[in-house]
């Protein structure tokens, strides 16, 4: 991955397609309203469907979420960086566009040193979502990328064929609620058996 190029693209308000922990995703500056709109429009994604954030540290996470509870800390210690997205109560500096007007934002700490380096250099989160046209097949190989998306993208990194395994999404209140199964769901149920809703 050309880290310098990706940082430059994101800083200048562009979007990129890169491999994430799971599938190929569109990424961009999560603090730039124009970029958030661009991602929705390029994907033809309904604004009622939220995006997620990727962070590069717990310090960065704390800048964008209201509270990190004890159960969330245990999940973070066990499964971050990795294929776990956690829904947190957001701070006001997270755009309502990202959360579709909701109070919670999905955040992942990716298990990818290049992406972490990019986020660290930007000192702000990346928005992330799959790089397919909404309702179409997810992209596990850049050869599958449609022209309707690629013409709006300023940088594409070919990381080979990916596994197409979804991240697990959880939300924590007094218990852990598994919102999307993903490959970690079974492990979480086993590890946190007394804390699952």
Compute the mean pLDDT over every residue in the chain, rounded to the nearest whole number.
Answer: 93
- Per-residue pLDDT at 166: 76
pTM for the structure as a whole = 0.93
Q: Per-residue pLDDT for 7 more than 90?
A: yes
- Per-residue pLDDT at 164: 72
Q: Which of 157, 159, 164, 149 is nearest to 39 (CA)?
A: 149
Q: Which of 104, 10, 108 is nearest to 61 (CA)?
A: 108
- Per-residue pLDDT at 119: 97
Q: Could you write out the DSSP letters of every residue in 39-68?
A: HHHHHT--TTS--EEE-SSHHHHHHHBS--
Residues 6+ apart with CB under 8 A from 189: 178, 196
Q: Which of 197, 194, 188 is nearest to 77 (CA)?
A: 188
- Per-residue pLDDT at 140: 87
pLDDT over 70, % of the chain? 100
d(CA 150, CA 38): 13
- Locate all alpha helices (DSSP H) within 65-183, ordered by sequence: 70-79, 113-122, 147-150
- Per-residue pLDDT at 167: 86
- Per-residue pLDDT at 139: 84
Max Cα-Cα span within the chain: 49
Residues 6+ apart with CB under 8 A from 147: none
Q: What is the pLDDT of residues 134-171, one digit of tens each?
A: 888 888 888 888 888 989 999 999 989 987 777 899 99
Q: What is the pLDDT of residues 64-119, one digit of tens each?
A: 999 999 999 999 999 999 999 999 999 999 999 999 999 999 999 999 999 999 99
Q: What is the pLDDT of residues 11-69, one digit of tens each?
A: 999 999 999 887 899 999 999 999 999 999 999 999 999 999 999 999 999 999 999 99
Q: What is the pLDDT of residues 165-190, one digit of tens each?
A: 778 999 998 899 999 998 899 999 99
Q: Per-residue pLDDT for 9 more than 90?
A: yes
């Amino acid at each position: 991955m050309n880290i310098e190029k990706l940082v430059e693209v994101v800083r200048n308000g562009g979007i990129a397609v890169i491999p994430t922990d799971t599938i190929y995703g569109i990424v961009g500056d999560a603090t730039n309203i124009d970029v958030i709109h661009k991602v929705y429009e390029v994907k033809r994604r309904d604004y009622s469907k939220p995006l997620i954030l990727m962070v590069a540290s717990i310090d960065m996470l704390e800048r964008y979420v209201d509270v990190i509870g004890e159960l969330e800390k245990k999940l973070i210690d066990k499964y971050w960086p990795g294929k776990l997205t956690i829904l947190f109560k957001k701070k006001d500096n997270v755009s309502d566009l990202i959360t579709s007007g909701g109070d919670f934002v999905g955040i992942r700490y990716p298990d990818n040193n290049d992406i972490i380096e990019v986020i660290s250099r930007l000192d702000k989160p990346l928005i992330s979502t799959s790089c397919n046209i909404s309702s179409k097949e997810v992209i596990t190989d850049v050869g599958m990328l449609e022209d309707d998306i690629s013409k709006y993208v300023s940088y594409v990194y070919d990381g080979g064929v990916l596994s197409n395994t979804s991240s697990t999404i959880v939300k924590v209140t007094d218990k852990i609620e598994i919102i999307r199964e993903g490959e970690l769901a079974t492990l979480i149920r086993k590890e946190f058996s007394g804390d699952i809703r």
